[in-house]
Structure 1
Amino acid sequence: MVAPFWGPTLDCPDPVALGSFYQRVAGGSLAVVTDSFVELRFDGFSIGFQRDLNYRAPTWPDSRVPQQCHLDFMAADLDAEQELVVAAGGTPTSVQPEPSVFRVFLDPAGHPFCLTTWRTASGPPESR
């Protein structure tokens, strides 16, 4: 091993707003907060949010501006947790490829992310 994984960093126009949004969705603590960078820390990893003045939001599912990456969050009850994500500022997308297992949202900066029951007690079994 060269270096242990610490976590992804998402480009965005407002790191403080986006870090606060993901803290409402997933918990964690805001460990670093500046105008240009925010670190949302969990046990063993972090998600970073860095200011990009030229940021262009993904246009998923249209590929004109690719999504680059997306985050998945494990959910026990998709309907109940969807309500909480929307209350926190997330927006459900009009395209939901597998709504019984995945719910796709856009964060306030336009990054797609999912709530999923995959690999949880309420989701489908792991493939063998």
Structure 2
Amino acid sequence: MTSPDERIKQRARALYHQASQQLDPAIAGRLRAARREALQPARPPHRVARLLLPAGAFAVIALAALMVWQPHRGASAPTVPDMAVATVPGAAQDDSDLPPDADSADPNLYQNLDFYGWLAANDSTAPARH
């Protein structure tokens, strides 16, 4: 004797074969095309999408390299003699410049501190009289 599950399976197969014999040919063609498309392996990614991954990885590596390899912010620019700065037209020095460190400054600058005080008090940047 067959089990109820086996009878249901046999009845379902019989109904499937009967319905497939009575199916419209246009609908059968569409079903076959949909089945083939569903069973095809996934399409490879588009060419642009394949190029974006390596380009993005290169950009991330370049950015990381630039962040790691930066010149030291404490490094100073090459020094220019004071005479060269004074002769350049339109060159103005900032009043906000800090005095040089005692370790890096010329010791001769500290010999005549009174003179530098007098020079600061008698500022010669007053407008010229015509």
TM-score tier by shorter-chain length is under 0.3
Higher Rg: 2
- TM-score of the two chains, using structure 1 as the length reference: 0.21
The structure with the largest helix share of the pair is 2
Higher relative contact order (CA 8 A, sep 6+): 1
The structure with the largest strand share of the pair is 1
- TM-score of the two chains, using structure 2 as the length reference: 0.21
